Structure 1
């Protein structure tokens, strides 16, 4: 095993997930890549007309400033996370899209030998309606997945 892909998000439990991956790096001399997925940035900055009683905006099209700001925040998050781990084998990667799909796609592109993820606890309704990223990754992965339990 040479490459470990670590999926992190803005939840504070990501530190526990990253630390678990760092333990692997120290014990197995592997390269670690911290991966953060921005969920369709264009949705955050789109200007919409009034709909469903919501006073939106009249001009249609993405707000590029909003999208650029979201990307900048995510890049800073990854940079700080890598700096906090302070380990020579840690790199970062930022991508956009469906979270589970983006994790699987980058794992294949980067030739990851292992994916490390946390098991966020979600409400029963949320799991029923959307499933979880972890479930989606486990369902379609070709790479072994190391799940870090992060329940309180």
Structure 2
């Protein structure tokens, strides 16, 4: 295993995932990349025509600077997480889109040998209705996934 991709969400428990994933990667002598996904951000900037009598964003004039600022916040988050690991060789990547698809796409693009991610405690009904990012990644991955259980 030469490349370990550590997927971090925006949650304080991500510190556990980053640190445990990093320790595993170092034991394997692997490169590390921290990945953070900003989900569905473009959705908020779409200027739809009126539909079903709803004029929504046309009248609200969504400030597209908000989208740019969210991107900057997400990029700063993942870069700060890398600095926390105190290893200048750790790289970062910030992606956008549906989380599980973005993780899988970047794992393929970066040629990751292992994906590390946390799994949060979700209620049974939440798992049935929405699934979880971890389960969607596991369903479609082409590389091994190391899950770190996070209990909230």
Normalised by the length of structure 2, the TM-score is 0.88
Match in the other structure for 1:112: 112
Q: RMSD between aligned alpha carbons?
A: 2.5
Q: How far did 1:144 drift?
A: 0.2
**What does 1:45-124 correspond to in 2, within 5 Å?**
45-46=45-46, 56-59=56-59, 63-124=63-124
Unaligned runs of 5+ in 2: none
* Preserved contact between residue 47 and residue 59 of structure 1 (Cα < 8 Å): no
Deviates more, 1:43-52 or 1:127-136: 43-52
* Preserved contact between residue 25 and residue 89 of structure 1 (Cα < 8 Å): no
Instruction: Kindly provide the CA deviation profile for residues 66-97 of structure 1, in whole angstroms up to 9, marking residues without a partner as x.
Output: 11011011011011101111113311001111
* Preserved contact between residue 39 and residue 96 of structure 1 (Cα < 8 Å): yes
* Preserved contact between residue 47 and residue 60 of structure 1 (Cα < 8 Å): no
Match in the other structure for 2:139: 139
Deviates more, 1:65-74 or 1:82-91: 82-91
Normalised by the length of structure 1, the TM-score is 0.88
Instruction: Kindly provide the CA deviation profile for residues 5-35 of structure 1, in whole angstroms up to 9, marking residues without a partner as x.
Output: 0000111111111011111232122111100
Inter-partner Cα distance in structure 1 for 2:41 and 2:57: 18
The 3-state SS of whatever aligns with 1:95 is strand
Inter-partner Cα distance in structure 2 for 1:138 and 1:61: 39
Unaligned runs of 5+ in 1: none
Paired positions, count: 152
Q: How far did 1:55 drift?
A: 9.0
